[in-house]
Amino acid sequence: MVKNVTDKALWCVSLRDACIGISIFSLVTVVWGVIAHPSYLQNTSLLVGFIIDLLANLALLFGVLWSNAWLVLAWFVFAVLFFIGWPVAVLGVIFNYGDYRAAAFFDNVFLILFEYILTLVTLVYCSYIVSSYFHQLRNSQSATPNGSAAPNGSAAPNGSAIHYIVV
């Protein structure tokens, strides 16, 4: 089975650096958004979304810094919730319910939809990068410490390396 992963991001940036960039950029934009509009956190559902976004990006940041695959995987909670809520937001903009138009930076419906589509494409690519880094991290953690293993995938029972010589 072939997994759809990559080992480099755009412009030959390593996956680790790309994931750090994703988490730092997301944290900065969320914090600046709350500083610019403090009333954003008055609604309970928006407060819960802010907390999930903050915790997910902190988990990604520390997962990359500590090389912990499970913390990197925790970022996908935020991504899955975004992908579930995206169609609702688009329909809210089109049919003008749920204050989705008021929450956007534009007054034009087409510009708001363009903003949402651009956000979707960006988050899909970020999910692809984080997924590739997660698989890279899991593969490096599942390798044996000395780099050699038995042909069936199990290590030697006494902990020593087994070397096979093909004649």
What are the tokens at 158? 């006494």
Q: pLDDT (tens digit, 9 = 90+) per residue, 116-136?
A: 999 999 999 999 999 999 999
The overall pTM is greater than 0.85: no
Three-class secondary structure of residue 66 per DSSP? coil
For residue 48, pLDDT over 80 is answered with yes
The structural domains of the chain, with segments of one domain joined by +, span: 10-135
Long-range contacts of 86-90 (CB under 8 A, 24+ apart): 86/116, 86/120, 89/116, 90/116
Q: Based on the number of CB atoms within 10 Å of its own CB, is 20 exposed (0-12), middle (13-18) or buried (19 or more)? A: middle
Hunting for tokens 């003008």 — which residue is that?
96
As beta bridge partners, residue 8 has 14
Where is pLDDT greater, at 159 or 142?
Answer: 142
